[in-house]
Amino acid sequence: MKSLCAVCLTMWALASPTTAETLGDILREAGWDKIVGTWLDAETGGDAVKTTYKWRIRDHVLEVTTHTAGTESVGMIARVGGSGEVVHAGADNQGGTAVGKWSADDGDAILDLEYATAAGDEGEMRIRHHLKDVDTMVVTIETGEDPVVLTLRRAK
């Protein structure tokens, strides 16, 4: 039994990559590690929109919390080991949920989401994140109607 356990542990150790690219690596390579922090809408100083990105598990899971008028949401961003895809899953205080994938387009971070409200209404949206500078991010939310554009400033 001991030798079987030793063989299994050895096989697991050899099969486990030690230099796998992490979410943190991906963000640093793309220049998006600057997203970590709290962002406030420029118009109201955070009264309308406040979003915080923080490491839940350093370099592996990024937590996103967003507060808007009457809605609080929490999401997690992680890299899938096998495919390398960066995925997102979240929920809000009204019973809504969302799942999606992150990608890059011309230096912007794109989140393509499928969502469902608590009432069962379903839809898709694309959220484009553009870092104008280290302290300014422009977020464009596309749902098939006129896009909503928000300018967010890093909280000091």
Is the model's pLDDT at 140 over the cut of 60? Answer: yes
pLDDT per position as a tens digit, 35-56: 999 999 999 999 999 999 999 9
Pairing of strands 61-68, 49-57: antiparallel
- Any domain includes 4: no
- Any domain includes 118: yes
Q: What is the mean pLDDT of the chain?
A: 90
- Any domain includes 14: no
Match 């220049």 to its residue by tokens. 31
- The domain total for the chain is 1
Match 């009457």 to its residue by tokens. 70
CA dist., res. 48 & res. 152, Å (int):
11
Count of H-run helices and E-run strands, the chain: 2, 10
Side chain identity, residue 51: T
- We report the CATH number of the domain holding residue 35 as 2.40.128.20
Pairing of strands 61-68, 71-79: antiparallel
- Any domain includes 5: no
pLDDT per position as a tens digit, 75-122: 999 999 999 999 999 999 999 999 999 999 999 999 999 999 999 999
- Any domain includes 105: yes
The DSSP bridge partners found for residue 122 are 116
pTM listed for this prediction: 0.85
The average pLDDT across 42-71 equals 97
How many Cα atoms occupy the beta-carbon half-sphere of 35 within 13 Å?
Answer: 26
Confidence bin at 144 (pLDDT 50/70/90): confident
- Any domain includes 1: no
CA dist., res. 6 & res. 120, Å (int):
50
